[in-house]
Structure 1
């Protein structure tokens, strides 16, 4: 890659917009390939070369908000940018500029990615001479540097910055420190951040614990729970309102543990009514520990499987026959999905016929639960379940497809193809799933049909399956697994050629060429 200053004729606003687009693309795992990072590196270095300090500060702020992008930029620049046999004059000027009285912060950030440890050490020194929060992510990266001199200087500087002004530098250091914690020399920054959190004022902990990433919030909350800085009311509020499952479960466990120790049954009952299954399960376990099994046993029909299991244990303790309860529920006038699921979890195959009557229930949730229950009990009657493949409810179609897939070979041969050309998305998906265990030629034909489906999700799945099949068929023969072969008649081969030509724009040139070669070999 050759670096030239670039951006001639472009305004700062245009370059800033291009930078924001490149940074956003680099944050997405699916798009953050080498070309994406190369483009971002080119833009950043172009800003440095043009000496646009205002734009440089804006670019540095945007980079500092994305620690993953900073880490990828650091890796790419060191492996590619600084390894050119003849470095371009802008790169040379960038390194030489580190000795000036006033240094561009973006230039310092890029110099910290240099392959030469002496240059990285000078960049770290410049960061510490004029510390800025936007440079802290780059400084954190250097605390795990493989050169001891660079590493020691960066670690000492980071420790001093966090100790002197945690409110300014802790939010900037924490995301990158958590990102590099798993690296071989990355533990120092995470330990330093943890130590700073322990000694930081509550307002600082609250700031990084409410506005940061999920990892930051988890670290702060785990620390507050471990240090017992939260009241039980705060824990209950977090258990009821938190969207992150780890924080919510931790809050519920701490609140219920405190409630069990102090005998505060109202708190346990309040959390047992939570809409979150994990919170309900923790609260009901607490009620069991304080000796309230009869109350817990009333949750036999809960929608959550873990809660039902806890309730069945409570029912056993109080002498309630859970299976008899479920039999009465599924044969009664108003069965619930939880009761149907509980029945299939407790009953044997001999009790399975009780679910057949629910396959025509007016509620779609009951029909879907009945099909799932029959599948779990290994008692699927294909004749009864087959009509549900065209059920009005997508959830029922999905469950019926899953139940019939193991016996797809016994179904009418034309049924999956009729579903694959249906008007509803769930029907086409069902037909394709039923063909998933068919021979290679059948699966290829179905995938080619799906590749041009109007639904984006189905089309993506069809393209992926075609790609997988043709790439497997084009590999060398030294593989241990046999190559897929097309055992087709002349008419079937002609049909595949027509479908391949129709799907070629969706598949792309590479896959289409491989498919054409495979079909030629199979003619």
Structure 2
């Protein structure tokens, strides 16, 4: 069952969806209510799979050995008195509106959380009798037992919210949340995807159901950055109004930069500029900006502070970039010695600082391309990209063939922006890379180039011009042949056609 769900959710092709329907029918025929519920939970748990199954019920391929959806066999199965929740769910997606209406009536009469996503889908049905019956049942079930049905309804309601008739379910979810006990919305706030949790959090905040300790806990521990920021804003706003400076200082020590920014802004509003100015060396750019503004008001020269701190024995990382943010080209002599600093993080920040000051010298940066730290290699690559004309011509290709992953990535980045032939050759080489992420990047770029090259004449943008010699063309053809399995059938066909059309005359 799980294999069928994964295949349908991953590929999403007609055959995979049809196979999943067949497996679900076998589950229903077994008559095991527990297994049926588990199967429906697997289907509902895969993002978008229920919606694709509903669309699959009204689609069929124009050719092939099987042109009829397995969902059309559900009508006969659903007429059997022993049909279970799987048959009800599948029948609710049938192409015949009368069967869908009977399935909705059965789901409302024998409700369970596993069929609720399918009921939500029918609440936006294009046939009015089906839609009205589903909406009435959904409203009653949510009103009677929100703790049981809300977790199953919420994901599908939010997914369908943008549809023409999809807003009804969201309104019912809001109404159920407003009338539900605290344990219900707290449970929803602590589980589900990011969009669901933000939806619930917005309602909870608007109703004022959380207190200051709750906001502080969310700001410090929640996994979602959006909720952390909203909670920090609410906590700091209340702390400013109630003069709870201890809360502001606590959040100012948070490990999350977005929380520290909000807390420092609150401290500024209560007049604690001297304490805020102590964050001039923070790692986060926004925190440093708030601290510099506070330092200016109390007469502290931020540039002089950074110059002194950089010259110290062990400069903080925020000091190096802070000097680049407020300094000028006259400050580059303070940063250049840090390029050979023992700590890799300091070397990386020194490279970034020189780039921000527009003081990068290609010959000075070249040795750092082979730095043992991937972070330094990444910063050096970013700094050298505008200066590729000053690099040795074969250097990017040498890096692309190196044994270190970060150097191959650097070589590919340095080749970006060159001619179409260079980009295609580099992308084909990267497609064969042993590192999965680099190979996926190369495949995506080859696919983009191949699609542009295979465009039809009605496209407005011109086709990319592949200007190569016969030898270079043969090399591209050979690389394309090696990458056939990695690229896939469709991309390989487009690429082969493009290369054939652009073959130079010999």
One fold, TM greater than 0.5? yes
Structure 1 CA distance for aligned equivalents of residues 432 and 333 of structure 2: 42
How many Å separate the matches in 1 of 2:285 and 2:311?
20
CA contact (8 A) 1:486 1:522 kept: no
CA gap 1:341/1:505 in 2 versus in 1, 3 angstroms: same
Q: Residue 497 and residue 59 in structure 1: after superposition, are their counterparts in 2 closer, same or farther (change >3 A)?
A: closer
Partner of 1:286: 266
Residue in structure 1 matched with residue 432 of structure 2 by the alignment: 452
* Residue among 102, 105, 110 paired with 1:130: 110
Question: In 2, Cα distance between the equivalents of 1:365 and 1:67?
Answer: 39
Which residue of structure 1 lines up, in the alignment, with residue 292 of structure 2? Answer: 312
**Aligned partners of 2:431 and 2:443 also within 8 Å:** yes
User: What is the match of residue 198 of structure 1?
Assistant: 178
Aligned to 1:323: 303
Distance in 2, Cα, partners of 1:279 & 1:357? 34
* CA 169–481 in structure 1, closer or farther in 2 if over 3 Å, else same: closer
Query: How do 1:287-302 and structure 2 match up within 5 A?
Result: 287-302=267-282
Q: Decide whether aligned partners of structure 1 residues 313 and 493 sit closer, same or farther in structure 2, where only a CA change above 3 A counts.
A: same
Cα offset, 1:162, TM superposition: 1.4
Are 2:195 and 1:215 equivalent residues in the alignment?
yes
Q: Separation in 2 of the partners of 1:477 and 1:90?
A: 39
3-state DSSP class of the match of 2:57?
helix
Distance in 2 separating the partners of 1:497 and 1:145? 51
1:74 is paired with a residue whose SS is helix
1:125-274 maps to which residues of 2 (within 5 A)? 125-274=105-254
Equivalent residue runs for 1:377-456 within 5 Å? 377-456=357-436
| 2:4 paired residue number | 22
TM-score after normalising by structure 2: 0.91
Contact 1:67 1:179 in 2 (8 A): no
Counterpart residue number, 2:504: 522
1:427-447: CA deviation from partner (whole Å, max 9, x where unpaired): 111111111122222223322
Deviates more, 1:51-60 or 1:292-301: 51-60
Shift of 1:478: 5.3
| 1-structure distance, mates of 2:69, 2:438 | 51
Structure 1 residue 470 and structure 2 residue 438: aligned? no
Distance 2:128 2:476 in 1: 62
Check conservation: 2:430, 2:438, Cα contact below 8 A: yes
Correspondence for 1:14: none
Q: In 1, are the aligned partners of 2:469 and 2:504 still within 8 Å (CA)? A: no
Aligned length: 499
Unaligned runs of 5+ in 1: 1-18
Question: Does 2:257 align with 1:277?
Answer: yes
What is the RMSD of the two structures over their aligned residues, measured on CA atoms?
Answer: 2.7
Aligned partners of 1:87 and 1:397: how far apart in 2? 54
Taking structure 1 as reference, are residues 25 and 265 closer, same or farther at Cα in structure 2, changes over 3 Å only?
farther
Structure 2 vs 1, CA of residues 496 and 68 (structure 1 numbering), >3 Å: closer, same or farther? closer
Q: Normalising to structure 1: TM-score of the pair?
A: 0.88
Q: Specify whether residues 464 and 213 from structure 1 end up closer, same or farther in structure 2 by C-alpha distance, changes over 3 A only.
A: closer
| Residues 95-134 of structure 1: pairs in structure 2 closer than 5 A | 95=75, 98=78, 102-134=82-114
Structure 2 unaligned runs (5+)? none
CA distance in 1, matches of 2:272, 2:420: 58
Change (3 A) 1:303 1:508: same
The DSSP-based 3-state class of the residue aligned with 2:366 is helix
SS in 1 for 2:240: helix
Q: Once structures 1 and 2 are overlaid, which stretch shifts more, 496-505 or 244-253?
A: 496-505
1:335 to 312, 315, 339: 315
Question: Which digits, 9 at most, give the CA deviation of each residue in 1:52-79, with x for residues without a partner?
Answer: 4445444223324446221221121133
How big is the shift at 1:89? 12
Q: 1:67, 1:137 within 8 Å by CA — same for their partners in 2? A: no
Provide the C-alpha distance between the structure 2 equivalents of 1:362 and 1:178, rounded to a whole number of angstroms: 51
3-state DSSP of counterpart to 1:438:
coil
SS in 2 for 1:343: helix
How big is the shift at 1:35?
4.1
